[in-house]
Amino acid sequence: MTASTDPVLPPLASQPSAFTTLRRVIFDRPATIFALAIVVLFILVAALAPLIAPYDPLAQSILDVNKPPSAAHPVGTDQFGRDVLSRLIYGSRNSLIFGFVSPVLAAIFGTTLGVVAGYFGGIVDRIISRIIDLLLAFPELLLAILIAAVLGGGFWNVVAVLTVAFTPGFARVARASTLAVKQEPYIEAAVAVGLRTPMIILRHVVPNIAAPIVVLTTLWIASAIRLEASLSFLGIGTQPPNPSWGNIIRDGLNNLFGSPWPIIGAGALITLVVLAFNLLGDAVRDALDPEASK
Amino acid sequence: MTQDLLRLTDVTVEFGPPKSPVRVVEGVSFSVGKGESVGLVGESGSGKSVTSLAIMRLIGGRVAKGRIEFEGRNLLDLPAAALPAIRGRDIAMIFQEPMSSLNPLMTVGDQVAEALLLHGWHNRTARRKRTIEMLDLVGIPNAEGRLGAYPHQFSGGMRQRVMIAMAVACEPKLLIADEPTTALDVTIQAQVLDLMKKVRRELGMAILLISHDLGVIADVCERVVVMYAGRVVEEADIRTILTRPQHPYTRGLLRSVPRRSHEAERLYQIPGSVPPAGSIRQGCPFRDRCELAVPRCAEEMPPMFRFGPSQSAACWVTAAAEGATQAGAAA
Amino acid sequence: MTRYIVVRLLDAIPTILLVLTLVFVAMRILPGDPAVAALGDFATPEQREAFREQMGLNAPLWQQYLSFIGSSLTLDFGQSMINGRDVLGLIAYNLPYTIELTIAAVLLGVLMGVPFGVWAATNANRAPDSAMRGFSLIGYAVPDFYLGALLLIVFSLNLGWFPINGGGEGFLDRMHHVFLPALTLAFIKAAFLGRLTRTALLEVLGRDYIRTARAKGAREPRVIYRHGLRNALLPLTTGLGLTTLTALSGSVAIELVFNRPGLGKLLISAIAERDYAVIQGGIVVFALFVVAINLAMDLVYVLVDPRIRVS
């Protein structure tokens, strides 16, 4: 995972050429063009799934159990006679939703926590920081498993689990950035003028810590996708019969002697999409904060 | 003349891609005799450090031309595998930043002993004894007790002493010292320089001292080589350099040294700044900052002219004024 | 240094308490009736009440909290809801397999990754370095359970070189069983460790004391290993701690893939069976391990860096 846990990414002054740099970083390297293509393809497939999928992903058929890849079923069928390709296509929707929604939610919660801790300081800060540090000491997957152990699987639970797993990382970055921004003279000026605290935070602190948060969000889309796949594989993520790339592999393992194709297909897709997002995330980071790479 | 221990002839060092190299040092020639102490002086950007690193082939660039002869052998001809035997044993080097130049995770005793181990001291007891001797020599109090100490437990001056101990442990014939006192306080500077003189006396070593500080060089060296923008511009014994410099740059350097007798005056500064490496392709590199410059200076690089038995300088104008004749093939 | 160690050890106590508190809070805010969750929809009100009594759920919250902390610290997790067996016993049986897997994975990862990283660093920006970069890109993207499944298919199913499931009995048999699972995790750890080694070593090789070592007459291998790698060990130690943690969390899925006994497998089964007591015990033990590994990480770092050790 290339998720950065650096505590301080320097707050960026608004750079007029940020987009140009981004464009250049992405299009100058063949690897990132490839990554961008994969990501676009992924989003399209997920969005257009009902139109593209040749079969209903839940439709079972006793006659077509464990068929190897063929013209009718390009990736074969599973032990319930379901078309694997359709399941893979629908599975991409899960990955897309969890991949985007969770980091965004975690960014919102984490940033709020971090800003509160950083801005108000004192005992509030110490308590929050202590909890954040503790949560960060856990590897994300383990934290997610432990939370899912309590909540169980299912769509909203997975969203909750992923959000909680990523929140501490955002909180730490937000807190560090807030601490840095708090020293700036314009904050002092705002206080002197008599601006009320919520206004100060909303209008002066948040916009100035936005940049590192955005970078972090992009970096963690890949992690979110991978995490959801892991949880679904373990059975505490997306529940069957809803297809998720993770639980397709799980079903596949129970059907090892039947057909290896669901496993091969689903795993390859996870690898490809995570790789693509990793590359893109690296490019975004290189563009907006060159010091942080390596 | 004493037999030359080290002789550089027309040394040119390049960096960067071979198709479009940057010449950081060009046509440098000078020599160091057995037991002699020679200073290499110049501002940052003069190429003096690069030159000294090139002698032991410790730089990232290439020596594109010239010869570096040690005891008659051209070091540039040696295969890379043969160099470690010479480094530390025949030629040793100390550097500017003693803190970062010592391995923070190795004890001081181990680092000095390593220099011995690398050059044939296989007996541990003998190494230990010699290490203590060396640390004593350089003035580390309670040497035996401090063998197990780490570099971060010493002050800057002490660390530099350790570096010197490490460098001279195998009694090299030549010690190259690259700005050894620049990072130290003035009072400590004096101590370290005294130490270097003492070590030189006791071991009969030659010293090549590189510094931007003429005062430091004057303290230790018998002869001085002045470099500017990658070239040697003047060479003379220390008295002559201080009293009758013939190159405008050397004169400028001397004028910039603060003097008590001229307290009330504004400190002199040579106008302009050092040109970036390799930017001057033709003519004398100092011409843009030189009071004496004439049109010829921009057209042709002056060769070294002889101004006396032990002085040469590369300047059209002063050579003409003094009636100096061109120095022959490398001195 | 002793002072540092003592402080760190003392600091672990509030950390452990905080962890247990968080676990307690998490389990108590679980929506819904735990009795229903555990016993199912068809349990009678009497059965649910008996369950609540048994689990102490009718006592005031603070009392439940204290008894939870107490029983967790004494490792008294009660009995499994499904088969009545002693939870601690179940954990004690499964834990060694997980520890075995984690250690094997880390060892293999180091053996594969560190030399690769050294090779990449000493050949920076040439072919080996690109190979490293490619390897680490794949390693960061491929899910460990996918790799495990692939290895299982090829080497156990098709070639029959390794067993398909289980943990094994006796030392050699256990080694045989742990190899493929450990290798799976190790590949991914190797990608991380290799990249870390490369970066750390390259950074160290740019330092001044490396130049000093060469100037002293040290030959290249000595420069790279005695001076370079030795100094790169500091960031590597932190990386090693992280690796152990991710290996531990990866072991859960791998145990499932290879049908191996282990703490993760126990926890996952308990989740599926809604075995409240085992879930609780499993979470607590995992959490305590994480705290322990973090602590060990800090202590090892102190030992390795003399700048902290001797001052």
Quick one: pLDDT at residue A289?
62
- B168 vs A283, more confident: B168
Residue in A with minimal Cα distance to C272: A235
Quick one: pLDDT at residue B113?
93
Report the range out of A23-27, A93-97, B36-40, B313-317 with the highest average pLDDT: B36-40
Quick one: pLDDT at residue B119?
92
Binding-face residues of A in 147-186 toward C, CB within 8 A = 147-152
Binding-face residues of A in 197-256 toward C, CB within 8 A = 222, 226, 229-230, 233-236, 246, 249, 252-253, 256
The reply to whether residue C215 touches residue B105, judged by beta carbons under 8 angstroms, is: no
Which residues of chain B are within 8 Å of residue C229 when distances are taken between CB atoms? none
Are there at least 3 beta-carbon pairs closer than 8 Å between A and B? no
The reply to whether residue C149 touches residue A252, judged by beta carbons under 8 angstroms, is: yes
Give the residues across from B311 on adjacent strands: B308
Token pair of A257 as six digits = 């002697």
Binding-face residues of B in 31-70 toward C, CB within 8 A = 56, 58
Query: Does C85 have pLDDT greater than 90?
Result: no
Residue in C with minimal Cα distance to B105: C306
* Residue listed under structure tokens 């531990």: C248
A266 touches chain C (CB under 8 A): yes
Q: Per-residue confidence at B210, pLDDT binned at 50, 70, 90?
A: very high
The values of phi and psi at residue B37, to 5°, are -120, 120
- The beta-carbon neighbor of B88 closest among C217, C310, C311 is C217
The reply to whether residue C209 touches residue B89, judged by beta carbons under 8 angstroms, is: no
C268 touches chain A (CB under 8 A): yes
Cβ–Cβ < 8 Å for C226, C88? no
Shortest distance between the Cα of A113 and any Cα of chain C, in A, equals 17
Q: Per-residue confidence at C34, pLDDT binned at 50, 70, 90?
A: low
Summarised one tens digit per residue, pLDDT across range C95-150 is 999 999 999 999 999 999 999 999 999 888 888 888 888 898 899 899 999 999 99
B115 touches chain C (CB under 8 A): yes
The reply to whether residue C218 touches residue B118, judged by beta carbons under 8 angstroms, is: yes
Give me the sign of the Cα torsion angle B240, B243, B246, B251. Answer: positive
Query: What pTM did the predictor assign?
Result: 0.83
The reply to whether residue B101 touches residue C231, judged by beta carbons under 8 angstroms, is: no
Quick one: pLDDT at residue B175?
93
Summarised one tens digit per residue, pLDDT across range B118-163 is 998 899 999 999 999 999 988 899 888 889 999 989 988 899 999 9
Measure the CA–CA gap between A38 and A137, rounded to whole angstroms: 33
Q: What chains are in contact with B, requiring at least 3 Cβ pairs below 8 Å?
A: C
* Low-confidence residues of chain A: pLDDT under 50: 1-6, 9, 14-16, 292-294
Quick one: pLDDT at residue B47?
86
Please count the other Cβ atoms lying within 10 Å of the Cβ belonging to residue B286.
26
Cβ–Cβ < 8 Å for B205, B199? yes
Summarised one tens digit per residue, pLDDT across range C260-270 is 999 999 998 88
Report the range out of B15-29, B83-97, B271-285 with the highest average pLDDT: B83-97
- The beta-carbon neighbor of C140 closest among A1, A249, A264 is A1
Quick one: pLDDT at residue A187?
79
Query: Does B330 have pLDDT greater than 70?
Result: no
Residue in B with minimal Cα distance to C311: B153
**Which stretch of DSSP H or E encloses residue A255?**
none
Summarised one tens digit per residue, pLDDT across range B49-58 is 899 899 988 8
The reply to whether residue C143 touches residue A2, judged by beta carbons under 8 angstroms, is: no
N residues, chain B: 331
- Going along chain A from its start, the domains and CATH numbers come out as 28-48+83-293 (1.10.3720.10)
CB-based contacts of C286: which residues, under 8 Å, 6+ apart? Answer: A142, A145, A146, C248, C263, C267
Quick one: pLDDT at residue A77?
81
Query: Does B204 have pLDDT greater than 80?
Result: yes
Share of chain C above pLDDT 70, in %: 92
The mean of the pLDDT values for chain B is 86
B118 touches chain C (CB under 8 A): yes
Please count the other Cβ atoms lying within 10 Å of the Cβ belonging to residue A125.
18
Q: Per-residue confidence at C247, pLDDT binned at 50, 70, 90?
A: very high
Summarised one tens digit per residue, pLDDT across range C161-195 is 888 887 778 788 888 888 999 999 999 999 999 99
Query: Does B206 have pLDDT greater than 60?
Result: yes
Give me the sign of the Cα torsion angle B288, B289, B292, B297. Answer: negative
The reply to whether residue C218 touches residue B58, judged by beta carbons under 8 angstroms, is: no
Cβ–Cβ < 8 Å for B216, B209? yes
Which residues of chain C are within 8 Å of residue B152 when distances are taken between CB atoms? 307, 311
**Strand segments (E) across chain B:** 4-15, 22-33, 37-41, 62-70, 73-74, 91-94, 174-178, 206-211, 223-228, 231-237, 305-308, 311-313, 325-326
Quick one: pLDDT at residue B329?
44
The reply to whether residue A230 touches residue C256, judged by beta carbons under 8 angstroms, is: no
